Chains A and B, each alone.
Chain A
């Protein structure tokens, strides 16, 4: 499945009953060099829009929200030693966490790639 995006610049990709999420290339560029990512614990449950992670650049800390509700099944532990992966590959190796899909209709509120692109251009 393709990526879906939130207005807060998270992306999510649902494959089967697992959702992988991270921050968009636009967000990574706006942040600048990522120096630290605080990831949630496996097993933690989040509602759509709950604060799930924190991403830090040299200058500032930013909250990252759950694009859909679910339980964390896996986190990208590689980011601990290599947070710069978020800049190098925001929607690939720089993913943050995998979630179960609690409510598939959460996806309806999100933008597809074309709509998100338009949204960013208007910012």
Chain B
């Protein structure tokens, strides 16, 4: 038997460690190299049970390998900082209110995706001119270099990886659990955030908390100083409903939720429109002007070539990344970019690019798995209904 672990990367140099590394190894996690970090791919529960636990209760993810940074303008205004970032992403930033969060992408000048990221406008008196970004671990060094090179004079980037940790607490019980430390957290709605004091038994800590995540579940992402995070995680793990969840289940959860993984589903060869991320490009940002790569966004809206879609195999065989997609006549019409077994779906699920017009939901296609054509259907994403909290 020969395992092909897709998480593993070749060429191990000195792997970095998050502030929670000691906890992972103490819990018996299986550690793998990921984006230059030694990260837990699974704990003793295993990927399947970790996935289901997150959908049923609350899963705690160490995402401290991701990049955290601030963009601020020397003139102290939000407008200047927002205008600078807005020149590099398709999302509208200038109209963001304090406490608001948006998903967007950094584009190159051809409109290819350099990375996808979360953008927040800080919600704190005296600091609401600051923009906070969370970017992917595997891209962060390139992202920071890109931002440094492209932000105008008077707008500065401040990288916080050396001081801040990041975790995600996801699942239907996540907010109830974190709100025991500060009941105001429960007032946040999806894609908003704030600064909160968390009353831990051994002394309060301060954290930046957003009601967001990447599992399709309700939940929060929590940024705090490294030492404070170690204490917070230790406290959260005492709760019966909280389990640590590894990268394996993080991947199957986001796939069922229909969320893109950078490097699999999106990269410099794909545009936000091809990746079906048009929802993240506000209407007035589709004109072809105003930011790096804007022309590609407008062009891809006009000349429709291919789209990222959900694919549901009819049989039980998972279709992994790079599986060829064919039409009924055997013509190649695309390729799977993410695929596997969806524990909550109870069967295989996949996402991939198909040529227009095969992207319509309900289209029958064939997936070529180990040389055999396996029937599948183009479906609307997500595979599992998302459970974001958008208010009562």
Contacts and interface: CB of A to CB of B under 8 A. Distances in A.
Interface string B35-71: 0000001100011110100000000000000000000
Contacts of A61: 4, 318, 320
A23 B3 CA distance: 12
A30 B3 contact: yes
Interface string A88-114: 000000000000000000000000000
Contact of B341 (A27, A56, A62, A80): A56
Contacts of A8: 1-2
Interface in A17-67: 23, 27, 30-33, 35-36, 38, 54-65
A8 B1 CA distance: 5
Of A9, A10, A33, A54, the most chain B CB neighbours within 10 A belong to A33
B74 interface: no
Contacts of B251: 59
B340 interface: yes
Interface residues of B, number: 27
Of A54, A55, A56, A57, the most chain B CB neighbours within 10 A belong to A57
B7 interface: yes
Contacts of B51: 58
B23 interface: no
A35 B7 CA distance: 18
B331 to A, nearest CB: 25
Contacts of A59: 5-7, 41, 47, 248, 251-252, 340
Contacts of B3: 30-31, 60, 62
Contacts of A57: 47, 341
Given A38-B370, A59-B340, A60-B6, A33 B1 contact: no
B6 A36 contact: no
Contacts of A63: 1-2
B317 interface: yes
A57 B340 CA distance: 9
B1 to A, nearest CB: 5
Nearest to B2: A63
A9 B6 CA distance: 20
Nearest to A83: B316
B263 to A, nearest CB: 16
A60 B7 CA distance: 9
B1 A27 contact: yes
B47 A58 contact: yes
A105 B7 CA distance: 38
B90 interface: no
B213 interface: no
A23 B1 CA distance: 8
B2 A56 contact: no
Contacts of A30: 3
Contacts of A9: 1
Interface string B310-324: 000000111010000
B46 A33 contact: yes
Contact of A33 (B5, B7, B47, B317): B47
Contact of A58 (B1, B316, B343): B343
A58 B370 contact: no
A32 B3 CA distance: 11
5 contacts: A59-B5, A59-B248, A60-B5, A61-B318, A65-B1
Interface of B: 1-7, 41-42, 46-49, 51, 248-249, 251-252, 316-318, 320, 340-341, 343, 348, 370
